[in-house]
């Protein structure tokens, strides 16, 4: 039997946060191991951000070919080869898995393929072998959940949607968060009939209200049958299709039912509670400002702590933790004003406060809002419109919220996020020369507030 191996840091989970923490710690001279029973890269690389964005790119092509006629192009309509899209995506994900593996091994990290179980405050078991570690890091992410309802076993989640054997002619998407909205847009763009069901009054709870209503209008224009205040009562097999019965008694026939109604932290079966690690009601690891659990040698970060479920946040948390454990301890994560994008069609980019949140925080707020048809669509024939919005604290003139719905919103908002983080005022925006003709220039040319 091989001798017990001792590590300075043992990472459970090889997703974005876990891999970053392992690499950075190893580069600082620590002895590091990382264990995972799934392909390297975690949800983001394998079942989330990357494949989703690739499919979002794919979903724009049919619309782009149609728009090209307004610019003088002629030709037959393209036809989607679902099998080719899946195969090409799989090749790219496999390439990324290999890159993650090389990054770890090149840094000197010991990579263990297998499910880890924490058996002591400084002990982890993988594949029947116990390893010692001065510090343990739980970076196991989260997983989608389907609520208990009759026929729930017939539903799929975002884990399965990328590799469906047959392209769904009619896809029912249940949920109103960003994942549900993104997949509704993606599969509609790829050519499916899409019905999206959300039990609330409006999708994208937590986003700016103008953004929520604007996006709902735009996705409906693109053919998504978005139904709010609607929910599923049961799902039944009906020959080779699924019969979806709604709470109002109406029914839908679908090829697939995709549930995107929430995710839960991956802590089940790790043995954490047995050691006294405090878990929240949903299973999330409770940590302090330095990502330390109630057992001092055990840390956690990323989706498993259910703080901000975004890949760049997990990366930032990993850097802060490694600096705390093996460095000078100066790094910290600022959770204020984190930019994000939603890859609906059209896409959303946002950073800072919503108008409602700003009004709750400041005595007076000024709002600048612009809605227009992008230059491209003056010839494309597409009726898509763009929304841009600035929220300003009247007392300081600081821009505290920036919101956009339109083409490349994420790319545009990333740059403006730097300005917001730096404390730019509306006067600074006004003094900035725009790049013409672009949609982005609208952010520096809005002069009259719509709400004083």
pLDDT for 452: 53
Q: Rounded distance, CA 391 to CA 399, Å?
A: 6
Alpha-carbon gap, residue 263 to 282, rounded angstroms: 10
Alpha carbons 409 and 439: distance in angstroms, whole number: 10
The CATH architecture that domain 6-143+264-326 belongs to is 3-Layer(bba) Sandwich (3.50)
Identical fold, 152-261 and 340-444: no
Q: How is the chain split into domains, by residue range?
A: 6-143+264-326, 152-261, 340-444
Nearest to 126 by CA among 273, 245, 14: 14
Specify which residues 87 forms β-bridges with: none
Give pLDDT < 50 ranges for the chain. Answer: none
pLDDT digits (tens, 9 = 90+) for 387-408: 999 999 999 999 999 999 999 9
CATH superfamily assigned to domain 340-444: FAD/NAD-linked reductase, C-terminal dimerisation domain (3.30.390.30)
pLDDT tens track for 33-64: 999 999 999 999 999 999 999 999 999 999 99
- Of the options 3.50.50.60, 3.30.420.40, 3.30.465.10, 1.10.150.120, the CATH number for the domain spanning 152-261: 3.50.50.60
Q: Which two tokens stand for residue 123?
A: 């002990």
Task: Quote the pLDDT of residue 4.
Answer: 84
pLDDT attached to residue 276:
97
Residue 324 annotated among the catalytic residues of the structure:
no
- Tokens 């400084």, residue? 122
pTM of the model: 0.96
Secondary structure class of 116 (helix, strand, coil): strand
């Amino acid at each position: 039997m091989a001798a017990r191996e001792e590590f300075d840091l043992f990472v459970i989970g090889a997703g974005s946060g876990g891999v970053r923490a392992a690499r950075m710690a190893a580069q600082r001279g620590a002895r590091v191991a990382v264990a995972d029973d799934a392909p390297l890269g975690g949800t983001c690389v394998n079942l989330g951000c990357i494949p989703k964005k690739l499919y979002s790119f794919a979903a724009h092509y049919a619309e782009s070919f149609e728009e090209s006629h307004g610019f003088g192009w002629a030709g037959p309509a393209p036809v989607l080869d679902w099998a080719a899209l899946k195969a090409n995506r799989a090749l790219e994900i496999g390439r990324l898995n290999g890159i993650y593996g090389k990054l770890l091994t090149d840094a000197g990290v010991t990579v263990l393929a297998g499910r880890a179980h924490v058996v002591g405050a400084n002990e982890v078991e993988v594949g029947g072998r116990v390893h010692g570690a001065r510090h343990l890091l739980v970076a196991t992410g989260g997983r989608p959940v389907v609520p208990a309802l009759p026929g729930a076993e017939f539903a799929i989640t975002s884990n399965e949607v990328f590799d469906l054997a047959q392209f769904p002619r009619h896809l029912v998407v249940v949920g109103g968060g960003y994942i549900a909205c993104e997949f509704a847009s993606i599969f509609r763009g790829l050519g499916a009939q899409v019905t999206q069901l959300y039990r609330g009054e409006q999708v994208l709870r937590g986003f700016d209200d103008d953004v929520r209503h604007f996006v709902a209008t735009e996705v409906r224009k693109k053919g998504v049958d978005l139904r709010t205040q609607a929910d599923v009562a049961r799902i039944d097999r009906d020959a080779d299709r699924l019969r979806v019965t709604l709470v109002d008694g109406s029914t839908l026939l679908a090829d697939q039912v995709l549930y995107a109604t929430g995710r839960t932290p991956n802590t089940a079966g790790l043995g954490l509670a047995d050691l006294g690690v405090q878990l929240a009601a949903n299973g999330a690891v409770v940590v302090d400002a330095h990502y330390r659990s109630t057992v001092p040698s055990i840390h956690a970060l990323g989706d498993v702590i259910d703080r901000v479920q975004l890949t760049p946040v997990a990366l930032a948390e990993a850097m802060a933790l490694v600096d705390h454990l093996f460095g000078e301890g100066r790094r910290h994560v600022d959770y204020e004003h984190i930019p994000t994008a939603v890859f609906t069609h059209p896409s959303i980019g946002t950073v800072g406060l919503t108008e409602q949140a700003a009004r709750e925080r400041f005595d007076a707020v000024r709002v600048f809002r612009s809605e227009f048809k992008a230059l491209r669509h003056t010839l494309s024939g597409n009726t898509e419109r763009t929304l841009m919005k600035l929220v300003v604290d009247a007392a300081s003139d600081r821009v505290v919220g920036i919101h956009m719905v339109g083409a490349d919103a994420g790319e545009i908002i990333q740059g403006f996020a730097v300005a917001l983080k730096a404390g730019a005022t509306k006067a600074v925006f006004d003094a900035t020369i725009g790049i013409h003709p672009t949609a982005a220039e609208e952010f520096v040319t809005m002069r009259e507030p719509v709400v004083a």
